[in-house]
């Protein structure tokens, strides 16, 4: 296994007025090529910050992020990102949203069209190519988000609670769809979520984060074969283990919130 | 089935609603013209010394038609069409200049805090001054053509500027993040995220600016400067110099109709642009 993403001693401090908030405290982890890793933690633990630093949207205060041995200094098309609020361009059609990165790279129109058509098929948006985002349901919008990120042929897919704003039914469907797309494209996926169920359903490995300041508390491999059955005793056992880890962190976070400082 | 029926009722409702709107609108227009005719006739019948100031609808309609076909009173070779063209060209230049200055300035003030800090005090001081307050000085300095143009410029400038600043501020930071992860740098972010975001705001600025500009040109032209023609000038001259009040009202009607036309064009343009951009 070769490391695709390497994070070494990553710290992130936000300055809010005169106060300094330590969001991440010397994080270390690796994600292997074609691995699906979920970053799980209580809200406010900085899991989204990890993703934003790896994406190059946010500079690290200390430490290094390497992708394929290259230090991350800014955002780049080899790291595709999928956002919780979709972040689609409302004035562009589905096809034009998917082709955004290709336009930036100066790919000729005929080629762009061919690539976006293939992606439309892959994510199941046939017939909606000329629709605008506001005509689509949440699940459909996130399909566009995924296709748009894949258009640049990134080696890494960074997903920030991509199904967080979807209803439970759509969410389950989109998880299955994502696994189908993942097995078809074999991208390295770093997936942020606060849903234990989602993490156990999707991941090869789950990294549970501590409450602020964020660290990796525990890494739990999930070796269940896919497709996974949420009602199987094995699934429930892994779920229980992850939940126990998370519960402890949740308690700590609550105590911290209640204590005077 | 209940759903289908409800929909049919709604469609029929909207058709009758459109008819009703038309009929109601006509009723009020007819009532207005009738009242006008009655008052005007009454003044004439009672030999009021004010009667010449209010010619009847018929006389005004006649003046309206004649003003386009024959030279208007006071002139040998100038018709209403020439007056209109003269005013429109001033609005056009004033508006174009306002656009050329306000858009880059608005972008700078929206983008850079320093530009905003520098521009804000001047904007706050000059914006509350009605554009018409500039009429005396600008007309004296810039005379019959560039005078009204400069007033239109002042009037159209602020709506455009403020809307562009507001548009830049409204750019969704999440879309900038998305564009960056897709490989966009400063230039592409500007052309592919910022510009599409501000276009609807710019269109609003253009619509408001055109309306204000049109009022400005009429007011500016009323300042008696040698050698000027235009609808604003003729509203003034037909009354004060020639006492042809039917022509005064006819010119006012022309101004009103042109205002409706300008706003209408701006609105169609706005809808076109937003449909083209996929925002309904």
Q: What is the CATH number of the domain that holds B78?
A: 1.10.3720.10
How confident is the model at residue B280, as a pLDDT?
42
Q: Are residue B101 and residue B119 in the same domain, yes or no?
A: yes
Q: Are residue B139 and residue B258 in the same domain, yes or no?
A: yes
* Structural domain range at position B90: 62-276
pLDDT class for B1, splitting at 50, 70, 90?
very low
Range of weakest confidence among B7-21, B37-51, B84-98, B131-145: B7-21
B positions 186-215 inside 8 Å of A (CB): 188, 192-193, 196
Give the closest of B182, B196, B280 to A104, CB-based.
B182
Q: What is the mean pLDDT of chain B?
A: 90
Q: Are residue B16 and residue B125 in the same domain, yes or no?
A: no
Percentage of chain A surpassing pLDDT 90?
82
Q: Are residue B126 and residue B29 in the same domain, yes or no?
A: no
- pLDDT tens-digit series, residues A173-228: 999 999 999 999 999 999 999 999 999 999 999 999 988 788 899 999 999 999 99
How confident is the model at residue B278, as a pLDDT?
59
Q: Are residue B105 and residue B241 in the same domain, yes or no?
A: yes
How far is the C-alpha of A105 from the C-alpha of A102, rounded, in Å? 5
How many beta-carbon pairs under 8 angstroms link A with B? 68
Domain boundary among B13, B34, B54: B54
Beta pairing class for A205-209 and A188-193: unpaired
Beta pairing class for A3-16 and A62-67: antiparallel
Q: Are residue B46 and residue B150 in the same domain, yes or no?
A: no
Q: Which residue of A has its CA nearest to B186?
A: A104
The arithmetic mean of pLDDT across residues B218-230, rounded, is 82
pLDDT class for B180, splitting at 50, 70, 90?
very high
B41 at interface of A, judged by CB pairs closer than 8 A:
no
How many distinct structural domains can be found in chain B? 2
Q: Are residue B149 and residue B227 in the same domain, yes or no?
A: yes
Place of tokens 């308690």: A251
Q: Is the ipTM of this complex over 0.85?
A: yes
To the nearest whole Å, the CA of A149 is away from the closest chain B CA by 7
Q: Are residue B86 and residue B107 in the same domain, yes or no?
A: yes
Q: Are residue B99 and residue B25 in the same domain, yes or no?
A: no
B positions 212-251 inside 8 Å of A (CB): none
How confident is the model at residue B9, as a pLDDT?
56
pTM of this prediction? 0.84
Place of tokens 């020439």: B82
How confident is the model at residue A64, as a pLDDT?
93
How confident is the model at residue B2, as a pLDDT?
46
Q: B1 burial class (0-12, 13-18, 19+ CB within 10 angstroms)?
A: exposed
3-state secondary structure of A16: strand
B39 — phi, psi (to 5°)? -65, -45
Q: Are residue B108 and residue B10 in the same domain, yes or no?
A: no
The answer to whether residue A102 scores a pLDDT higher than 60 is yes
Q: Are residue B100 and residue B127 in the same domain, yes or no?
A: yes
How confident is the model at residue B263, as a pLDDT?
86
Range of weakest confidence among A45-49, A245-249, B19-23: A245-249
How far is the C-alpha of A205 from the C-alpha of A220, rounded, in Å? 6
pLDDT class for B250, splitting at 50, 70, 90?
very high
B172 at interface of A, judged by CB pairs closer than 8 A:
yes
Give the closest of B175, B177, B280 to A89, CB-based.
B175
Give the closest of A74, A89, A104 to B188, CB-based.
A104
Domain boundary among B34, B54, B74: B54
Name chain A contacts of B177, Cβ cutoff 8 Å: 57, 75, 81, 83, 87
How confident is the model at residue B10, as a pLDDT?
61
To the nearest whole Å, the CA of A102 is away from the closest chain B CA by 8
Residues A61-73: b if buried by 16+ CB within 10 A, e if exposed: bebebbbeeeebe
Cβ neighbours of residue A245 under 8 Å, at least 6 residues apart? A208, A217, A218, A220
Give the closest of A76, A83, A158 to B183, CB-based.
A76
Give the DSSP H/E element, type plus range, for residue A117.
helix A109-123
Q: How many CB atoms lie within 10 A of CB B265?
A: 12
Domain boundary among B21, B37, B54: B54
Cross-chain residue pair B178–A91, CB shorter than 8 Å:
no
Q: Are residue B220 and residue B202 in the same domain, yes or no?
A: yes
The answer to whether residue B251 scores a pLDDT higher than 60 is yes
- pLDDT tens-digit series, residues A182-193: 999 999 999 999
How confident is the model at residue A1, as a pLDDT?
54
């Amino acid at each position: 296994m070769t490391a695709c993403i390497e994070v070494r001693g990553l710290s992130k401090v936000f300055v809010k007025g005169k106060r300094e908030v330590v969001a991440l405290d010397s994080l270390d982890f690796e994600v292997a090529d074609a691995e699906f890793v979920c970053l799980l933690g209580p809200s406010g633990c900085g899991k989204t910050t990890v993703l934003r630093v790896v994406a190059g949207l946010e500079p690290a205060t200390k430490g290094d992020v390497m992708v394929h041995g290259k230090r991350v200094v800014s955002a780049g098309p080899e790291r595709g990102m999928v956002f919780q609020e979709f972040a689609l361009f409302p004035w562009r059609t589905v096809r034009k949203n998917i082709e955004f990165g290709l336009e930036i790279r100066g790919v000729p129109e005929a080629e762009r069209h061919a690539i976006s058509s293939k992606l439309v098929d892959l994510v199941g948006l046939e017939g909606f190519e000329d629709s605008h985002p506001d005509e689509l349901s949440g699940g459909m919008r996130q399909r566009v988000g995924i296709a748009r990120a894949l258009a640049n042929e990134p080696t890494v897919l960074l997903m920030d609670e991509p199904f967080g704003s979807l209803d439970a039914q759509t969410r389950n469907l989109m998880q299955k769809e994502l696994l189908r797309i993942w097995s078809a494209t074999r991208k390295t996926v770093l997936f942020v979520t606060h849903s234990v169920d989602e993490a156990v359903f999707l991941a090869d490995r789950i990294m549970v984060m501590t409450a602020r300041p964020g660290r990796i508390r525990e890494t739990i491999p999930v070796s269940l074969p896919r497709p996974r059955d949420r009602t199987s005793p094995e699934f429930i056992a892994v779920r229980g283990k992850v939940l126990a880890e998370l519960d402890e962190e949740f308690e700590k976070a609550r105590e911290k919130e209640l204590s005077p400082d | 089935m209940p759903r289908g029926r409800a929909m049919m009722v709604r469609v029929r409702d909207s058709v009758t609603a459109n008819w009703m709107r038309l009929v109601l609108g006509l009723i009020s227009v007819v009532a207005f013209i009738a009242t006008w005719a009655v008052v005007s006739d009454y003044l004439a019948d009672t030999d009021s010394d004010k009667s010449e100031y209010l010619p009847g609808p018929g006389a005004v309609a006649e003046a309206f038609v004649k003003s386009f076909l024959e030279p208007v009173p006071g002139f040998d070779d100038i018709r209403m069409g020439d007056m209109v063209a003269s005013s429109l060209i001033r609005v056009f230049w004033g508006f174009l200049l306002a656009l050329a200055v306000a858009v880059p300035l608005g972008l700078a003030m929206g983008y850079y805090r320093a530009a905003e800090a520098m521009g804000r005090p001047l904007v706050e001081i000059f914006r509350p001054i009605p554009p018409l307050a500039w009429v005396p000085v600008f007309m004296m300095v810039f005379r019959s053509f560039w005078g009204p143009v400069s007033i239109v410029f002042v009037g159209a400038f602020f709506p455009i500027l403020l809307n562009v600043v507001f548009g830049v501020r409204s750019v969704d930071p999440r879309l900038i993040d998305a564009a960056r992860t897709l490989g966009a740098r400063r230039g592409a972010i500007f052309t592919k995220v910022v510009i599409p975001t501000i276009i609807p705001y710019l269109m609003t600025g253009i619509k408001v600016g055109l309306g204000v500009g049109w009022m400005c040109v009429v007011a500016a032209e009323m300042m008696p400067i040698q050698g000027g023609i235009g609808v604003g000038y003729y509203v003034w001259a037909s009354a004060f110099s020639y006492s042809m009040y039917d022509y005064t009202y006819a010119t006012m009607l022309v101004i009103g109709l042109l205002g409706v036309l300008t706003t209408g064009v701006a609105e169609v343009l706005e809808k076109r642009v937003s449909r083209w951009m996929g925002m309904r």
